[in-house]
Structure 1
Amino acid sequence: MPTPEYTECLDAMYSMRRFGIILGLSTTANILAGLGNPQQTFSAIHIAGTNGKGSVASALATILQKAGYRVGLYTSPHLIRFNERICINGEPISDDAVVNSWEAVKSVHCGDREPTFFEFTTAMAFYEFGRHAVDWAVIETGMGGRMDSTNVIDPAISIITNISLEHKTYLGNTIKQITGEKAGIIKPGVPVITGTTQKVARTVIEAVANRQSAPLYIKGRDFRVRRSGNGRFSYAGIDHWWPGMKSGLMGNHQVDNAALVLAASELLMRREPNLLKDQIQFGLAQNRWPGRLEVVSEKPFVILDGAHNLMAARRLGRYLQDNLAGRRITMVAGILEDKPYEAILKDLVAPCARLIVTRAKIDRSLPPETLESVARPLVPDIQIVNDVAEAVRYAIATSAPEDAVCIAGSLYVVGEAKAELDKSGEALYPI
């Protein structure tokens, strides 16, 4: 049971302003200076992009941990508990550590304005990484890159996973503008790896890397993957050729994410003699990232995937079509109001016989009635169940053992679903 102190500090954080991307980095820098600049005590890998940031980050953290390093991992959002955002050697920090880091950050002067939620939590993460004396921290941007509060670090490697239109209010209306924001994590002389495919995005990244004298490694040019079936692939890299590789994460797109992981691992090997190929291969295969094509039951087949933007929804739709053909699929979906929900719904429900629309508790969730009206021409059977936990229970209870249930559309929906499934797991048929 959470302590009153833990509950109070989370309530205080959630009451903070949500975004601060246009406000600059000085507030975060001021807080960290007051904490003794803990971000200067560890080596870091910085990751930006539209999709795949968490998958790449978790894999690199797992690999470094398997190689014997003490590793911090900072990601967002969390699925069930805030503590998941800040991990040390694969474990979320304790409730007491949340309270202690909250109090430490609150005690220092932050400058001319109050910090946003993300600025505050970023400072908490770096404080914890310093306190635990991590060797490496793998840090995912919250949004964008150039003005993201994580961009106060001096990383050893920067990674930009891919680019698509997102957060246009904050990042810009075009791929070129959005790429410019994400490329803001590129630092002078620091190697950068990217999996971007659009010509305009690559042109922007190449220009920034050239301006910063940062060595640039592009997937498809400097390193490649070749799929060989059963989830395995060969990696032709910067310095090595590694056949028989496999990601611990499901989905064809995870091979592309794994390519970025392996390219980063090659660069790490140049500076970390203790990092070996066997550790890299084992860490990649052992990596797990909850809520991303996560199978939690076989009968019925229940799968969780955030699919919180258009690119992710298309990938999930293809996965369902390719891997669950012949099953009656029920989609349980809720989407946030700042997303292109009409296009997302179209991709999500294409392979489905039934849709249950629901709504996460976060205030940015779209009303189920809005989703229902859009989806009515797309799927024959639609129902509204406002509460996520109730929607999940109903979907499973009304599915046959050979059917499939997919819960998607928002990481907040997946988080609430996962919490419910963790409570009522005895009712399922787990793997």
Structure 2
Amino acid sequence: MVSLPPAGYTMTYSSAVAYLYRLQKHGIKLGLETMTALTARLGMPQNRYRTVHIAGTNGKGSTAATAAAILQAAGYRVGLYTSPHLVDFRERIRVNGEMIPESRVAQLTNQLQALSQPELSPTFFEYTTAMAFQHFADTAVDVAVLEVGLGGRFDATNVVTPMACAITTIALDHQAYLGSTLSSIAFEKAGIIKPGVPVVLGRLDDDAWRTIEQVARERQAPVFRIGEHFHTEGEEPQQFSYGGVGTHYDGLTCVLAGRHQLDNAACALALLEAAAPQGIVITSEAARTGLQAVNWAGRLEVVDRRPTILLDGAHNPAAATALADFLTDADRLHPSRPVILVLGMMRDKDHRGSVEPLRNLGDEVVLTQADLPRSATAQELQSSLGDLLPHPHVVPSLSDAMALARQLATPDGLVCVTGSLMLVGECKAWLHGRVCSPLRG
């Protein structure tokens, strides 16, 4: 049980964040009972604006950020709720790109803590989701773009009835909570599908597709599937056109790097097209402007030069494969450039499956760790990956690992930091001389 602040005590931003962090230590609780009760006590703020809802193993955050940028370019006031954050807790909750103010975090934490008494015990994620719902209502957003935290069916965000929803990809991750097969994971993510609400689907394995299609059919939800109902075309990297059910956009540019981001952009455009019957209007100009304005940190993000430092939070085999594709393409353009991988992962992830696609892409590998209890130590990674990475550098301190990687890369090389969004967040903070907020789950 988390100890409550003393009666009459008003939390500041720092004490509110510390209180939320203590909640996080109690882990994940799947179920909607607490969230339903908490939002009822708030007056159902999530019903005061329109929403779109996005799930998926990989790509859901990029799709959410892209949809939000396009909506904003179209003139809407847009709330964006995503997780985890990389450096600052407030990254999770944004209105028209602006992070929630510290004063609002403190105010809403105090309000939610009082409303939760005596019998509700919200988790960290339930608190932050309710905070986002209320902040969006209080700031009069037109549309909120909501990224699922984990799964879908029992996720705290799943108390909304959106205009449309999307499921970007299905891959093995979080098996302890979602099941050990693609079908079981797909079933959990299909839980966001509401009766009659359109669902947009990215590229799915056949088993995942059959599971989701069955749920959609039972709920009479129209299905729009990439490659069948919408698609992208283009020969130049990141330059493309989009074709949907009744929409066509030419001359689009995806500023997010990687071939997989074209699918995420297509899902975002299809999601907003599916919301058109609810009054959402996206012009060609809004689509072009929004796509060029997207900012989604920690995903194939270049943050420094000489050497080039690339951050990518790939933390499962599917995401690592997308990173490997990008690095392979980059190597064709710079065949003599040294590539140094800085790798750190959480203890509960598939270490071997995530490293297999990358094993031959680094001239040197530096194993390190994030400053979190969940993080595998550099020595643990060495033990589990010994035959895949026979001669790694083992450097527990991230700052020391980065110093070594820069030295190995030389000014003309590439340092790729990957394996965990938590590690990527710490690296971003280190590069800018900042300290990460501990609440990064």
- TM-score range relative to shorter protein: over 0.9
Task: Give the match for residue 3 of structure 2.
Answer: none
* 1:173 maps to 2:183: no
The 10-residue stretch of structure 1 (223-232 or 363-372) with the greater mean CA deviation from structure 2 = 223-232
Inter-partner Cα distance in structure 2 for 1:209 and 1:326: 50
Match of 2:292 among 285, 296, 301: 285
- Is residue 202–residue 267 contact of structure 2 (8 Å, CA) maintained in 1? yes
**Deviation string, structure 1 residues 238-277 (Cα, Å, up to 9, x no partner):** 1122233221200010011111011123223444365312
Task: Give the match for residue 414 of structure 2.
Answer: 404
Shift in alpha-carbon separation, 1:130–1:319, aligned structure 2, 3 A: same
The one-letter code sitting in structure 2 at the alignment partner of 1:362 is: L
SS in 1 for 2:396: strand
Task: Give the match for residue 183 of structure 1.
Answer: 190
Match of 1:127 among 110, 130, 134: 134
Aligned ranges 1:42-53 → 2 under 5 Å: 42-53=49-60
Aligned ranges 1:126-145 → 2 under 5 Å: 126-145=133-152
Inter-partner Cα distance in structure 2 for 1:362 and 1:109: 28
Match of 1:421 among 431, 435, 439: 431
Aligned ranges 1:87-126 → 2 under 5 Å: 87-109=94-116, 112-126=119-133
Task: Give the match for residue 427 of structure 1.
Answer: none
Match of 2:258 among 251, 259, 262: 251
* 1:195 maps to 2:202: yes
Inter-partner Cα distance in structure 2 for 1:273 and 1:82: 30
Deviation at 1:390, TM superposition (A): 3.1
Inter-partner Cα distance in structure 2 for 1:96 and 1:273: 32
**Deviation string, structure 1 residues 99-118 (Cα, Å, up to 9, x no partner):** 11111111113674411111
Inter-partner Cα distance in structure 1 for 2:100 and 2:228: 39
Aligned ranges 1:336-375 → 2 under 5 Å: 336-375=346-385
Aligned ranges 1:298-317 → 2 under 5 Å: 298-317=305-324
**Greater RCO (CA < 8 Å, at least 6 residues apart):** 2
- Is residue 66–residue 290 contact of structure 2 (8 Å, CA) maintained in 1? yes
Task: Give the match for residue 28 of structure 2.
Answer: 19
**Deviation string, structure 1 residues 271-314 (Cα, Å, up to 9, x no partner):** 43653121012101221100000011232111000001111111
Inter-partner Cα distance in structure 2 for 1:275 and 1:94: 29
Inter-partner Cα distance in structure 1 for 2:210 and 2:353: 28
- Is residue 183–residue 207 contact of structure 2 (8 Å, CA) maintained in 1? yes
TM-score by length of 2: 0.91
Q: How many equivalent pairs are there?
A: 420
- Is residue 49–residue 137 contact of structure 2 (8 Å, CA) maintained in 1? yes
The one-letter code sitting in structure 1 at the alignment partner of 2:369 is: R
Inter-partner Cα distance in structure 1 for 2:247 and 2:407: 50
The 10-residue stretch of structure 1 (262-271 or 296-305) with the greater mean CA deviation from structure 2 = 262-271
TM-score by length of 1: 0.93
Task: Give the match for residue 401 of structure 2.
Answer: 391
SS in 1 for 2:328: helix
Structure 1 unaligned segments of length 5 or more: list them: 425-431
- Is residue 56–residue 169 contact of structure 2 (8 Å, CA) maintained in 1? yes
Inter-partner Cα distance in structure 2 for 1:36 and 1:25: 16
Deviation at 1:380, TM superposition (A): 6.0
Inter-partner Cα distance in structure 1 for 2:166 and 2:111: 30
Inter-partner Cα distance in structure 2 for 1:271 and 1:281: 22
The one-letter code sitting in structure 1 at the alignment partner of 2:272 is: S
Deviation at 1:78, TM superposition (A): 0.3
- Is residue 90–residue 102 contact of structure 2 (8 Å, CA) maintained in 1? yes
Structure 2 unaligned segments of length 5 or more: list them: 1-9, 435-441
The one-letter code sitting in structure 2 at the alignment partner of 1:358 is: T
Inter-partner Cα distance in structure 1 for 2:222 and 2:406: 50
SS in 2 for 1:311: helix
- Is residue 27–residue 110 contact of structure 1 (8 Å, CA) maintained in 2? no
Shift in alpha-carbon separation, 1:299–1:36, aligned structure 2, 3 A: same
The 10-residue stretch of structure 1 (210-219 or 347-356) with the greater mean CA deviation from structure 2 = 347-356
The one-letter code sitting in structure 1 at the alignment partner of 2:115 is: V
Deviation at 1:393, TM superposition (A): 3.2
Deviation at 1:72, TM superposition (A): 0.6
Deviation at 1:173, TM superposition (A): 1.2
Task: Give the match for residue 429 of structure 1.
Answer: none
